[in-house]
Structure 1
Amino acid sequence: MTTTLTKDPPAFERPAARGGPRAPGRAFSLLRRPAAVASLTFIVLLIVVAAFAPVLAPFDPATQILQDQLRGPSAEHWLGTDHLGRDVFSRLIYAARLTLLAPTIAVGVALALALPTGMFAGFRRGWFDAVSGRVADVFLSLPGLVFALAMVAVLGRGTVNAMLALGIAFSPGLYRIVRAAALQVSQETHIESARSIGSSTGRILFVHVVPNILAPLVVQVTILMGISIIAESGLSFIGVGAQPPTASLGAMLRDANQFQFKAPLAVLPAGIVLVLTVLSFNTLGDRLRDILLGEQR
């Protein structure tokens, strides 16, 4: 009697070597978590509002009606008016655009700087890893918001300049995460197998390394989106971010703060939207971490 032994396929041929569980399973797992569903629903709603702002807004957000200054909620102005008589509800709808655009710019710049350098440094090591690591250490030693303010002082005020500076400030931390993930993946067996059959560095990075570092990368991106929203609002609050008459949550909070004794509830609309948006991104990031990394709470 003879026994036939079956040999497992090489690691780089297994489906699990390219990212673990299938995407549909992850999607269903995400939908089974009420907090994640609520967060995702709010973010999607914010995207829809931002996309159809001209249709949804009952007034032009920049139109000033001075005789209607600091009015309370009414049938005409659902959330009242600000100190220049502008409709708060309309400005809140248009502020959703900047709330999504600003963090997209900042995180996009951080990804463009950190993803290729972090992957290459973690995969190839050597002098490039040493030099890029020291550069990242220098930028990590600088407070992010202070660095962004210094960059804005050089480049000039405005949302784009502020977010470019913020993206540069975010890139060292993101570089460290990408490098650590790429370094761990580069030591796995399927990477050695790919090298042995003559795969190029570029093919190995994008076919084998990128799918295996998506989990920490996606989680960090969602967290950075929330941080960027807070940073943009803070920069607009002190006047170096969005410039008038652009509708921004930070600018709306600044205007409401200046007239807090005449209209003490004016900070609530922009404040509530800001809190819910940041909370949604952070909650979604936590749930994605649980799913992608297999953690159980």
Structure 2
Amino acid sequence: MSRSIGLAHIIRHDDGTSSGVWGIYTLQSAFQPIFAFKEGKLSIAAFEGLIRPFRDGEPQSPMTFFSTCPAADRLHVEALTRTLHLLNAGACLPREPSIFVNFDPSVFTERAIADSALRDMRLVLHEAGIDPGRVVCEVTEQRSASQETLHGFVAALKGNGFRIAVDDYGADDSDIKRIKELKPDIVKFDAHWITQLMESGPGFALLTSMVRSFEDQGIRTVFEGIEEGWQLELAERSGASMVQGYVLARPELAPTSFRVFARSEPEPVAAANHAPAPATIVPRTGRPAKAFGRRIAP
């Protein structure tokens, strides 16, 4: 079997984790939990893989790293980051929650490239011991070479048992069109946009209506960038399926401490196109209710 592009740039460590090397950069995986609401409590439903670049041992911003990558290398860098996240997820995360990894549709210019990427992913998942049903492929907002190519690639991802998430949803016409075309399993709401809507009663009502519309279609919702308690309260009241943000947990470099949330008894992995299996339930702290935003209704 041919060696995948991602695996060719991987360094294995004694603790079971891996790092990547690309030019002058060392790449590490960080994971941030995504929590699901359940009976007034929160449980870990998934983790998002986030790349953390280092240069000469000093941390660099992901934006700096990606901006230095020539366009011709972007496909290989994307493969490397996914490979790194999946290997580290297999090594240091609980075995029940889902794993979110990014896909930039602009690099998949033809079907042969997409097929090669899927072959590499299957190889890495086999090595990491991860069922495809746990993997959620986040389709980022970058424009694809053609809609036909994008639709074919998303169909191939679904055909291989992966779930699809649309990232940074903000209810623009282009976002609504993405939802209709890709028919995702999950929609991640843009953090800045949802905060703006939460600041007013009418905005919060609109947000709640959109969440209900998605849930009625069988599409789960994630609110990103939740950094304050009042946002968490309103996210729950809106009916959002899941939440992610610093008020709950910050990203941790692999190896993480998150394995403590694993179930004591193994359970079957959640099937594709079904809700992610939650990990150990984390009790929530009580907070005063608010009508909306930072202002208490008279």
Pair in the same fold by TM > 0.5:
no
Compare the two structures and name the one with the higher strand fraction: 2
TM-score of the pair, normalised by structure 1: 0.26
Higher CA-based Rg? 1
